[in-house]
Amino acid sequence: MTSTPLGLPPAPPVVLSTASVYPESARVAFELAAELGYDGVELMVWTDPVSQDVAEVARLAERTGVPVLAVHAPCLAVTQRVWSADPIGRIRRSVAAATTLGCRTVVLHPPFRWQRRYVAQFSDEVARAGEHAGVALAVENMFPITRSGVRTVPYSPGFDPTEVGYAHYTLDLSHTAAAAVDALALLDRMGSGLTHVHLADGSGAPRDEHLVPGRGGQPCAEVCERLAASGFDGVVVIEVSTRRCRTRPERAALLAESLLFARLHLQPTARPAPVPAQ
């Protein structure tokens, strides 16, 4: 957690999603997080074999001195068979991984519409797993898919988790851009349930861009400043796309820029003292 001036609350930790180094592996994410001064990593469990090996991840954390502060469950379309073909099994394994790695948050997406049994079980499993393990299962806001001008919502019952109501939420600013959702209004709806933030940007195009914060149209600075002012005690995750980078130094430069943006806008500021009445 970043140090702050005496008397002010500490700034939230800024961590690096291992997805931010794709197509490189989670191992590279730990190395870059250590090199650039991130406070930790969020482990995105996906097709990268390193990300699926909890023992290896623990060794990486110890070797680099970079702790795992959150686990992102394998709930993408391309990870439907990672760890288990059963989505409930994947939740439980993610919670077990978080417990083993010593972190307190698991990030989840809402179920896909075609996962009918999972849809029926999801809310109860999220509540049960969190109560059992003491880990916050933070459900993430998503976005519609637009193809050939047709807009569809692949999630059930929708892409806004506040319409259902969960104990914990993840706010993703690339997803608010893709969904044309007011990020500040969504933050307000999440209220005290806001546990976790994916800090990225988007242009407003109907696709998930994960731009470096400050390079799109999302109120990234305002969100960070609200978090700092409210004493937010969750984690802020840099989850940006660097897949077009041709070299590691180029990738590191984008991740350094993202970290600097977060540090700048998450720094708590002292409120001016009231002027005594004359």
Structure tokens at 172: 């993703």
Whether the pLDDT of residue 221 is over 50: the answer is yes
Question: Which of these ranges, 18-27, 183-192, 261-270, has the smallest mean pLDDT?
Answer: 261-270
Instruction: List, for residues 192-218, the tens digit of each pLDDT value.
Output: 999 999 999 999 999 999 999 999 999
pLDDT at 130: 74
| For residue 14, pLDDT beyond 60 | yes
Per-residue pLDDT at 9 = 75
Q: What is the pLDDT of residues 43-74, one digit of tens each?
A: 999 999 999 999 999 999 999 999 999 999 99
4 compared with 191, residue with greater pLDDT:
191
Give the per-residue pLDDT at 134.
Answer: 82
Tokens of 13: 């930790």
pLDDT of residue 76: 87
- pLDDT tens for each residue of 1-12: 555 555 677 899
Mean pLDDT (whole number) for 183-196: 97
CATH code given to domain 14-266:
3.20.20.150
Residue 77 has pLDDT above 90, yes or no: no
What is the chain's Cα-based Rg?
Answer: 18
Comparing 1 with 84, the larger pLDDT belongs to: 84
pLDDT of res. 273 = 45
Do residues 221 and 269 make contact, with C-beta atoms less than 8 angstroms apart? Answer: no
Of 41-50, 124-133, 161-170, 233-242, the one with minimum mean pLDDT is: 124-133
pLDDT reported for residue 140: 98
